[in-house]
Amino acid sequence: MAEFTMELNDEQKEVRDWLHGFAADVIRPAAAEWDEREETPWPVIQEAAKVGIYSLDFYAQQYFDQTGLGIPMAMEELFWGDAGIALSIVGTGLAAVGVLANGTEEQIGTWVPQMYGDANDVKLAAFCSSEPDAGSDVASMRTRAVYDEAKDEWVINGTKTWATNGGIANVHVVVAVVDPELGSRGHASFIVPPNTPGLAQGQKFKKHGIRASHTAEVILDNVRVPGSCLLGGKEKLDERLARARERAKAASGERVKNAAMATFEASRPAVGAMAVGTARAAYEVALDYAMTREQFGRPIIDNQGVAFQLAEMRTQIDAARLLVWRASWMAVNGKPFTAAEGSMSKLFASETAKKVTAQAIQILGGNGYTREYPVERMHRDSAIYTIFEGTSEIQRLVIARTLSGMPIR
C-alpha cells in the first residue's frame, strides 16, 4: 500500500506536463469551435489517439498508479483544457471500465480494443445505464433482457438516456434487468456489437454545457446479442442471482446495497477532478484579467473586493483537490469510505466549480458574459458536475446516511 502524499513523483510530473501541453496546444484552441458546433470533435480525439492519450494503455497506467493520483491528475489537466472536448476523449473509458470490471478475460481482449480502435481508425464506446424514469433510482430500471435458450441469445428491449456517445459508438455496453423481482440485484451488463439490428440513436440532446460531447438516447428494439455478450458469462450470472434469491434476511440485503454503493463511491473522485480542472481554468483566467485590467488608474486586483474573491476561489480549488486526492488514494488502496469520502470529494468539487466559474464571470464583468472570453463557456460546463454521477442532493444523502449508519438505498 502506498503512503498518502501530496507530492507528485518525477514520472507523474512528466505525465502531468505532457497532458497540460496537449490541453493547452490542442484542446483549448479548438474549444470554442466545437462548443458552437455541438458535435463530436473527431479531429481532436484522433490527435489524442496519435499521441497515446486516447488509449486503454494510458488510462490503465493511471488507474493502476498505487498513489491513486494518476486518474485525478489526468482528469484535472484534460478538463482544464475544455470540459466538452475532454469528456469526448474520456467518455469511452466509462464503457471500458464496465467491461474490465465485469467481463471475462476473453471479453476484455475481444471488445476493449474495438472500443478505441487506433489513430488511423478511431472508435468510440458508450455506457448505457440511465433511463427516462431511472436516473438516481437504479432500482426503477425497465430495460429488460430475456434469454432465448434455443438460440443462446439475449433479447434486449428498452430506452436508455443521457448516454455519452450513445448511438454513434462502435460498441455499446447496456445495463438491463434480467430478474425484476430482485430489484437492483437483478441487473446484468451486455455488450452490443457494432451494427446490431434494433439499436438506434434516439433524441440527441441540445445541452446547456459540455456541448462538444455527444449525449443522446439509445433505443433498443428486440436487440439480439449472442450469449457470449453477457459480461461475466451466464454461469456467473446464474450463481449471483441464486445467491441473491437466498438472501432472505434484511441484514444480508443491506450488505449487498452497501457494497454496490462502495463501487459508486470509488468512481466519484474522478468526476471531482474534472470539476477541479474546470474551476482552476476559470480562476486562472480571472486572476490574469484582474492583474492586467485597469480601472481608475490601477489593476482591479488592487481592489479588495476583487482580491478577496480570488483568494476565496483559490482556497476552495485547493480544498477540493485535497478531498479528491484523498478519496482517490483511499479507493486505490482499499480504504473503506466510512464517511462517504468519495461523495464528499465529488460534492465539494462540483459545487466549487459552479461557484468559481460564476465568480470569474463577475470579475471579468461584461467581458465575462460574452463568448469572447472562455469563462462564459466554463460556467455553462460546470453545471453538469452537480448533476451527473449522482446529483449534489444524492451526494448529501449518501454522506448523511453513511455518517448516521442508515442504509443507503
**Would you please indicate which residues are annotated as catalytic (active-site) residues?**
389
Grid coordinates representing 31 are 474549444
- In one-letter notation, the amino acid at residue 133 is D
- The partner residues of 220 in beta bridges, in order of sequence, read 158, 199
Run of H or E residues at 349:
helix 341-364
Distances (CA, A) of 268 to 80, 184, 318, 345: 18, 19, 18, 7
The whole-angstrom separation of Cα 215 and Cα 39 is: 10
Measuring CA to CA, how many Å separate 284 from each of 271, 289, 303, 310, 356?
20, 8, 18, 9, 11
Task: Report which of 14, 34, 155 is spatially closest to residue 74, judged by C-alpha positions.
Answer: 14
Enter the C-alpha cell of residue 66. Answer: 498505487
Please state the length of the chain.
409
Contact between residue 209 and residue 274 where contact means Cβ atoms under 8 Å apart: no
Question: Residue 254 in contact with residue 407, Cβ under 8 Å?
Answer: yes
DSSP state letters, 200-239: EEEEEP--SS-TTS-EEEEEEEEEEEEGGGBTT-HHHHHH
**117: region left, alpha or beta (phi > 0 left; psi from -120 to 50 alpha):** left
Indicate the residue type of 184: S
Cα 46 to Cα 89: distance, rounded to the nearest angstrom: 9
Helix, strand or coil, per DSSP, at residue 117 = strand
- Determine phi and psi for 251, rounding to 5 degrees: -60, -40
Query: Of the candidates 317, 318, 325, which has an alpha carbon nearest to the alpha carbon of residue 341?
Result: 325
CA 188 vs. chain centroid, Å, equals 20
Is 110:63 a contact under the CB 8 Å cutoff?
no
What are the cell numbers at 343?
461523495
Secondary structure letter of residue 197 according to DSSP: T
